[in-house]
Amino acid sequence: MTEREVAFLGPVGTYSHLVAQKQFGKNARFHPLPTVLDVCTFAAKHPTARGIVPIENSSGGAIYETVDILLENRPRIYIEQELSLHVILALIGRRNEKTTKLFSHFVPLEHCTTWIKNTLPRVEKHAVASTAIAALRAAAEWGGAALGSRNLAKLYGLDILDYPVETDMPNITTFYVVSGRKVAPEKPTKTTVCVKIPNEPGSLYNLLGTFQSESVNLSRLISRPIRGCPREYAFLVDVSGGLHQPNVRSALAKARKLATEIRVAGSYPCRRAFRS
């Protein structure tokens, strides 16, 4: 069997890595890359490869690097699946050391504010780029600990000091599986569309009305400025339903008459959430 090549937002041990492992298993060849752009470029250049990129966190919001790549269509990629991860955090460090410094991505630090206040009231908090980098920092510094997934402890020679860590709110991160070529969707339940509309009164209202007229629900609408065009915006629109549904096709046909540019970035299934 040929190995599936899968790129993900690195370093090793990130939640993107964990989702890639859960989705593609042991038969894949994984490539940790430093940026979302690098992951998408890898997927675009290798016809049989896939990329795993985050698109949204339940409290941190949209990942705009991913959004901008889809809107600009550079590199040219297509959404193949939507995956999600219910993040259950662990405190990892060394059992024989008093925790004086706590490292993590800013989202877990915010999600665990009450727990940190009650459990580690005098700890120094340090926000870093990812939970994997947090584990690296914790491993390198005396008294260091990190909030992240349990598998980071094994990767970086640390102990699991507490699990699960209590959070103030659920932490769900959503990811796209992206490919450099279109594939036949398997039971698509969502469609993502990239849209540009005239910069004139009522244009967005009229665009949204085409979906309402066909009883099509919009689950996400993100606006981003168009580079080089001041005060003009492009929109990433998530539609509930696949292109095989007549009302979705009809709504998109109406939208095309109103938009200056419209492109389907993918019609795809949404998988059941994994747990970390």
Phi, psi angles (nearest 5°) of residue 101: -130, 135
Phi, psi angles (nearest 5°) of residue 54: -75, 145
Predicted pLDDT at 59: 78
CATH topology of domain 190-266: Alpha-Beta Plaits (3.30.70)
Closest CA to 192 of 270, 262, 271, 264: 264
Residue count of the chain, please give it: 276
| E-assigned strand segments in 155-217 | 159-162, 172-179, 190-196
Two tokens at 254?
Answer: 């109406």
**CB 262, CB 191: distance < 8 Å:** no
Any idea which residue has 């698509």 for tokens?
188
Q: Where do the domains of the chain lie?
A: 4-85+172-181, 90-162, 190-266
> Helices (DSSP H) in 120-235: which residue ranges?
131-140, 151-155, 203-213
Q: Do domains 4-85+172-181 and 90-162 have the same CATH topology?
A: yes
Predicted pLDDT at 2: 60
Out of 3.30.70.980, 3.40.190.10, 3.30.1330.10, 3.40.640.10, the CATH code matching 4-85+172-181 is 3.40.190.10
Predicted pLDDT at 1: 42
pLDDT in tens, the chain (276 residues): 467 899 999 999 999 999 999 999 878 999 999 999 999 999 999 989 999 999 998 877 899 999 999 999 999 999 999 999 999 999 999 999 999 999 999 989 998 999 999 999 999 999 999 999 999 999 999 999 999 999 999 999 999 999 999 998 888 999 999 999 987 777 899 999 999 999 889 999 999 999 999 999 999 999 999 888 877 899 999 999 999 999 999 999 999 999 999 999 999 999 888 988
Predicted pLDDT at 275: 87
CATH topology of domain 90-162: D-Maltodextrin-Binding Protein; domain 2 (3.40.190)
- Going across the sheet that includes 159-162, the strands are 124-127, 101-104, 144-148, 90-93, 159-162
Predicted pLDDT at 229: 80
Residue 54: strand, helix, or coil: strand
Q: How many CB atoms lie under 10 A from the CB of residue 271?
A: 16
Cis omega (within 30 of 0) for bond into 188 = no
